[in-house]
Structure formats: C-alpha cells, structure tokens
Amino acid sequence: MLRLVGLFEERYREMEGYSTGMKQRVKLAQALVHGPRLVFLDEPTNGLDPAGRDEMLDLVGRVGSEFGIAIVMSSHLLSEIERVCNHLVVIDAGRLVQHGSMASFVSLTQAVEVEVDADAGPLAARLEKGGLKVTHQGRQLVIGLEGGSPYELLRDAVADMGMGLLRMERGRHRLEDIFEAEAEAKPEVLSGRLV
C-alpha cells in the first residue's frame, strides 16, 4: 500500500515529520490495506496544495479504476467531483436532491461560449441582428443554438470587425448549476454535500 500511495521510501520516517499531503496518503493506505470493496473518503484533498491535490485525485482515480474498489467521496470542490467521480449524489440537510451519472449532470447545452479579444458588445449586437439569441459580458458571449448553426455568421462577423477569436466551445452544464437552482428554489443557505 505504501508503494501505491508513493510513500515506500518514507516508511521508516516518523509520521510527525510528514507533510499534510503525506499524512493524507497514509490515511488512504490505511483504508486500503485490508482490501475493502468500498472506501468512504471525506474531503481527501483538504489542506493540500494544488500539486498535492492533483496527486491525491490521481491516486483516488487509480484506486477505483485499477483495483475495482468502489469509492464514495464527499467534497465541496466541484471540480474534484467532476474529475474523479462517475456518479453523483447531491444531499441537502439529509435530503436527496438529485442523483445520476456524471455525464447527465455535465452534458452539453444548447449554446456556444465565445471569447474575443475586445469588448463583445458590438459583436453581440451584430449577431442579434442576424437572428441569433446572444448574451454578453465584457469579452465573452453566449450564443443560443435554438435557431440553427451560428458558426458561419460568427466567423464572418468576427473577421469583418477585425476581432480576434480567443475561444469558442460548446457550452456545458456545470455542477454549480445544481446548487444555484436549489438555492433559488430554497431561500435558506444550501448546506448540502456532494458525494
């Protein structure tokens, strides 16, 4: 287990001299040493720096995929949930809010997200004149796909206006959308945890 979590070379060192990341990996090794079929992880990246967080998430992913151990992980960091989990359960104050495959939560939207190298206001106005539904803020646009494909109109407008197109990608639902929707439906502060 110490080899798995990257601490084999440190096995004779006193744990009190371990960093927070090393201590988190020892805890994971302790949970895995008896060969469980299911492991519960509560905030496994808590207190870790970005590099330590990446290492722990990679390790959690490997444990699940390579060793076939089911993992139930709670975290308030939604990017971690998206990165590691393949199923999501949203619980608020002990009440099941939603559940399903991760793919169902982060599916593609009916919009294209665009970023240009200048104020997007004039571009938004031109695209709206072309029949597109557009919202913008600063240098970013969200163009609805309900009326058909906006790509040619967008390309021509950006070229005619001499703007640089920095980013264009299909929009995706975000896990934050779940909490925003729940908070709007329920005025008190959402106290849920992602599992």
Q: What percent of the chain has pLDDT over 90?
A: 22
The pLDDT of 60-89, averaged and rounded, is 86
CATH code at position 120: 3.30.70
The pLDDT of 88-97, averaged and rounded, is 82
The alpha-helical segments, DSSP class H, found in 77-170 are 78-84, 102-105, 121-129, 151-161
Say if residue 119 is in the same domain as residue 76: no
Side-chain half-sphere exposure of 167, counting CA atoms within 13 A:
10
Could you give the CA distance from residue 123 to residue 54 in angstroms, rounded to a whole number? 38
Residue span of the structural domain in which 25 resides: 8-85
Q: Is the pLDDT of residue 191 over 60?
A: no
The pTM of the full predicted model, rounded to 2 decimals, is 0.60
| Residue 94 forms part of a structural domain | no
Output 107 or 27, whichever has higher pLDDT: 27
Count how many domains the chain has.
2
The alpha-helical segments, DSSP class H, found in 115-174 are 121-129, 151-161
Residue-level pLDDT at 179: 67
Measured between its terminal Cα atoms, the distance across the chain in Å is 25
Q: Which residue has the tokens 């896990």?
A: 175
Q: Is the pLDDT of residue 38 over 90?
A: yes
Split at pLDDT 50, 70, 90, the class of 190 is very low
Mean pLDDT of all residues belonging to the chain: 84
Q: Please give the torsion angle defined by the CA atoms of residues 35, 39, 41 and 45, in that order, rounded to the nearest 10 degrees.
A: 40
Q: If we measure between CA atoms, which residue out of 172, 37, 178 comes closest to residue 111? A: 172
Tens of pLDDT, residues 136-179: 899 999 998 886 778 888 999 999 999 999 988 888 777 777 66
| Residue 143 forms part of a structural domain | yes
Residue-level pLDDT at 193: 44
Q: Is the pLDDT of residue 192 over 50?
A: no
CATH code at position 35: 3.40.50.300
φ/ψ (deg, to 5) at 183:
-65, -35
